[in-house]
Structure 1
Amino acid sequence: MHDDIGAADPGSFRRRDPQGVQTEAWKQTLEDTEAIAQERRDEGWDVVTVMAAHTDTVSRDMGEDDRFGLMHVIPNNYVETVTDTFDSDEFTEYLVYGTEIDGFMFVVTELIDPETERSMLIPSRYDIARADGMITAAEDEDALYTHFKTIDGTILGTFEHDEYDPFIAGNA
């Protein structure tokens, strides 16, 4: 990876992390994910962790539909885990663990199926500077959505969160 990637096109610029603050925050997010998973397993729950290849904020004005929220792009090696585990009728509860660090939100989303004691954890991070449209839609609808899609754009599932504050900087 080159340090000057995006230098010619400011729109494609990726923020650098010279002090390693974001790198450490991501490591902590992964450690938190594993700690939550272990705690649930110790209580007898079935837990899966889904690693997204990328997480982005989406707003209504970005596509052909009215989708907004966090869009997790699921790599092929996790697609089967999502399709075998997630069912929006069974996963009816959630917990969100989020913190703002250096202009990014680092979030662990836990989707919960209380009936069968199953939990699905999704660690993620998103750029706060690109979240205005998502935040506006969440405030307008008083809800936020977690979406899962494949790299080719196929939607695997959607979960509605009736509280969005834990996902948003300054409110987590």
Structure 2
Amino acid sequence: MVHDSPADPRDRRQYDPEGVQSEAWKQTLEDMEAIAEERRDDGWDVVTIMAAHTDTVSRDMGEEDTFGLFHVVPNNYADKFTDAYDSDEYTEYLAYGTMIDGFMFVVTELIDPDGDRSILIASRYDMTFADGMVTSAEDEGVLYTHVRTIDGTILGTFEHEEYEPLISPPHA
């Protein structure tokens, strides 16, 4: 028997018969490439990374001091990230994105302003599962972005003191 839609309401949210989320993801990737091209035209070194999956993790879900956005990157992006990233040099960030059907579609740009370098990470994450992460960020006054491999190896961590662009849609 073929089902037109998943039975579990959480799965139904990910069911995308009109292609709205697929189009949002495609637009996110296009935005990442446009930002990268603009930076490169200005003489910057730019690395682009597509997160295969992003988790929203609260302190209650694991180690108490480890929470935030966990971007899982495929192995073919791991070396690109580690070759470029230095937590002491990447001190700024920008976030570009939108919320569609409760999912954030975001390009996070980690910036090394002195070295004219940028790492762009395209991601998609479900904000309906993010309440604990948001509470952890509000309690601590920071949100973390962690880049890791599928086996859980943390490749780098970035601290966001201003994190609202990563957890809420832009205000009109």
Alignment TM-score > 0.5, same fold? yes
Q: How does 1:97-136 map onto structure 2 within 5 Å? A: 97-136=96-135
1:59/1:66 contact within 8 Å kept? no
State the partner residue of 1:82.
81
Is it true that 1:38 corresponds to 2:37 in the alignment?
A: yes
CA separation in 2, counterparts of 1:45 and 1:146?
Answer: 22
- Tell me the amino acid that sits aligned with residue 13 of structure 1: D
SS at the partner of 2:50? Answer: coil
> Percentage identity across aligned positions?
70
- 1:88-125 Cα shifts (integer Å, max 9, x gaps): 00101111112111110111100001111000000101
1:165/1:171 contact within 8 Å kept? no
CA separation in 1, counterparts of 2:69 and 2:85?
Answer: 16
2:110/2:118 contact within 8 Å kept? yes
The counterpart of 2:11, out of the listed 7, 10, 13, is 13
Moved more, 120-129 or 134-143: 134-143
Structure 1: gaps (5+ residues): none
For residues 4 and 150 of structure 1, do their structure 2 counterparts lie closer, same or farther at Cα, with a shift above 3 Å needed? Answer: farther
- Tell me the amino acid that sits aligned with residue 11 of structure 2: F
For residues 13 and 119 of structure 1, do their structure 2 counterparts lie closer, same or farther at Cα, with a shift above 3 Å needed? Answer: same
State the partner residue of 2:22.
23
For residues 54 and 117 of structure 1, do their structure 2 counterparts lie closer, same or farther at Cα, with a shift above 3 Å needed? Answer: same
Moved more, 98-107 or 62-71: 62-71
State the partner residue of 2:48.
49
CA separation in 2, counterparts of 1:137 and 1:100?
Answer: 21
- Tell me the amino acid that sits aligned with residue 92 of structure 2: E
Scaled by the length of structure 2, what TM-score is found?
0.91
- 1:1-40 Cα shifts (integer Å, max 9, x gaps): x968975xx4973620111111111111111101100110
Structure 2: gaps (5+ residues): none
Deviant stretches of 4+, over 4 Å: 2-7
CA separation in 2, counterparts of 1:68 and 1:171?
Answer: 23
